Amino acid sequence: MKHLMEIEDNHTVDLYSKRGIMITRGENARVWDADGKEYIDCVAGHGVANIGHCNPAVVKAVQEQSAKLITCPASFYNDARAGLIKKLIEITPENLTRVFLCNSGTEAIEAAIKFARLSSGKKEFITALRGFHGRTMGALSATHNPKYKKEFEPLIPGFHHVPFNKFEKLEEKANQNTAAVILEVVQGEGGVYTGDKKYFERVQDLCRKQDILLIIDEVQTGFGRTGKLFAIDHFGLQPDMLCLAKGMAGGLPVGAVICGEDIKLGKAKHGTTFGGTPLISAAASAAIQFMIDGKLAEQAEKKGRYFMENFNSQAIDKVREVRQIGLMIGIELKEKVQPYLMQLLREGVLALPAGNTVLRLLPPLTISYEEIDTVIQKLHHVLL
Ligand SMILES: Cc1ncc(COP(=O)(O)O)c(C=O)c1O
């Protein structure tokens, strides 16, 4: 397998730090490397494999749909796509009635930015410090971390970043030029910080009063991750646009913006070749049905609570704080996280960072309680 690793090392563009193992197989919350070593996967494709790796319902849907029709542009009707659109409308707040399908989180944000400009005729946006919304030029403008942005400036003008969860700071920035506010409910890449109910309610209220669109980025929090099907469901929010991606299609590339009736667009103002293909639509419909039938959001809530009850962070000197909502868990360390990620990997647990000091766990929501026990035991082993 060494020669295959060398192909990636020598012939892919130099963007990713590798962790030194080649993953060749996955099933539910576990993956295996080329040597057959088993890992509990709390990376899950960066919070993608919510319903587990190679979920049989998705495998079946892909097999069946790929033998029937794989691609079909949005200028033709398609049964699999219509089925997915119906599902998305049914599971999102009732004010959201129109769907744009694309291929990734950043594309969903990119579309939402264009839709907001087009629909409002305004050009400015308010987003949050520590917010992450993707890496294409529009989404990157909404993202906060200067580390991702500096070399790519000038970005799209008119993006104002204000402290997260501080309503007055956001209110100060809002004016007649503000097209939209773009927020995560739980900042994921930013370190697993959840905003307050009151904060979001006041933001939503302000947006309504001042004719500002509210765009909620649930690329990472959507599809059960936080213990509700969507994180907005914790607070009863009704944004004008809801951006989705990661966990939506069982691991296949997908993104969506679910819009309210007030979002006025126009023929050919935006588009995509691959968005909403029958293959991805069938996979996403199967994945969503699996989440609903298996009550995965509820499971995430219970399993997240179980983790917190058993992790006992107070006993670990290296831990500053644990922030958790559902199965979105950020363990903030008093030191750099990278060496601990490598130690965990050697112990058979894959985890990811959020910034320099936060150890983030985004396991499949289907992870078993026994697997959670093992993750806790391994965390104790490397951190104590
Ligand atoms: C909240 C949020 N928005 C947008 C994105 C970008 O998604 P993608 O990597 O699919 O482009 C991410 C990715 O981590 C994210 O966490």
pLDDT tens digits, one per residue of 126-185: 999 999 999 999 999 999 999 999 999 999 999 999 999 999 999 999 999 999 999 999
DSSP class of 252: S
CA atoms of 15 and 2, how far apart (whole Å): 20
Percent of the chain with pLDDT over 90: 98
Ligand 1: nearest atom to the Cα of 47: 14
Nearest CA to ligand 1 atom 13: 134
CATH assignment of 2-54+296-383?
3.90.1150.10
pLDDT at 365: 98
In this prediction, residue 235 carries a pLDDT of 97
Q: How far is the CA of 219 from the centre of ligand 1 (A)?
A: 6
- Quick check: helix, strand or coil at residue 238? coil
Residue 309 reports pLDDT greater than 90: yes
The atom number, within ligand 1, closest to the CA of 104 reads 10
- Give exposure, 235-260, as e/b (b: 16+ Cβ within 10 Å): bebbbbbbbbbbbbbbbbbbbbbbbb
Report the nearest atom of ligand 1 relative to the CA of 255.
10
Whether residue 312 is predicted with pLDDT greater than 90 in this model: the reply is no
**Nearest CA, atom 3, ligand 1:** 133
Atom of ligand 1 nearest to the CA of 189: 16
Band of pLDDT at residue 88, cut at 50, 70 and 90: very high
Q: Where are the alpha helices (DSSP H) in the chain?
A: 2-11, 44-47, 56-66, 79-91, 105-120, 137-142, 146-149, 167-173, 197-209, 278-293, 296-311, 338-346, 369-383
**Could you state, in order of their start, the residue ranges of all structural domains in the chain?**
2-54+296-383, 57-293
CA of 186 to the centre of ligand 1 (A): 12
Distance 144 CA to ligand 1 centre (A): 13
Has residue 314 got a pLDDT over 90? no
Number of Cβ atoms within 10 Å of the Cβ of 144: 21
Q: Please name the residue whose Cα sits nearest to atom 4 of ligand 1.
A: 133
Q: Which atom of ligand 1 is nearest to the CA of 188?
A: 16
How many Å lie between the centroid of ligand 1 and the Cα of residue 315? 33
Instruction: Note the pLDDT of residue 206.
Output: 98
Of 50, 133, 192, which is best to mutate to test ligand 1, by the most ligand atoms within 8 angstroms of its C-beta? 133
Report pLDDT for 313. 81
What per-residue confidence (pLDDT) applies to 315? 86
Q: Which residues contact 382 (CB under 8 A, 6 or more apart)?
A: 340, 343, 344, 347
CATH of domain 57-293: 3.40.640.10
HEC string for 1-46: CHHHHHHHHHHCCCCCCCCCCCEEEEEECEEEECCCCEEEECCHHH
Q: 0.85 exceeded by the pTM?
A: yes
Question: How confident is the model over 328-351, as a mean pLDDT?
Answer: 98
pLDDT band at 343 (very low <50, low <70, confident <90, very high): very high
Pick from 16, 43, 106, 328 the residue to mutate for probing ligand 1's pocket: most ligand atoms within 8 Å of its CB.
106
Distance (angstroms) between ligand 1 centre and the Cα of 367 equals 22
- Asked if 12 and 328 touch (Cβ cutoff 8 Å), the reply is no
Residue with tokens 């494999």: 49
- Look at residue 1 and tell me whether its pLDDT is greater than 90: no
- Residue 161: strand, helix, or coil: strand
Q: Atom 16, ligand 1: which residue's CA is nearest?
A: 220
pLDDT tens-place string over residues 212-266: 999 999 999 999 999 999 999 999 999 999 999 999 999 999 999 999 999 999 9
Mean of the per-residue pLDDT values for the chain? 97
Minimal-distance CA residue to ligand 1 atom 10: 105
The β-bridge partners of 124 are: 178
Are the beta carbons of 323 and 333 closer than 8 angstroms?
Answer: no
Ligand 1 pocket list (CB less than 6 A): 46, 104-106, 109, 132-134, 184, 188-189, 217, 219-220, 245
Atom of ligand 1 nearest to the CA of 221: 1
DSSP 331-372: EEESS-SHHHHHHHHHTTEE-EEETTTEEEE---TT--HHHH
Residue-wise DSSP of 187-206: ETTTTSEEPPHHHHHHHHHH
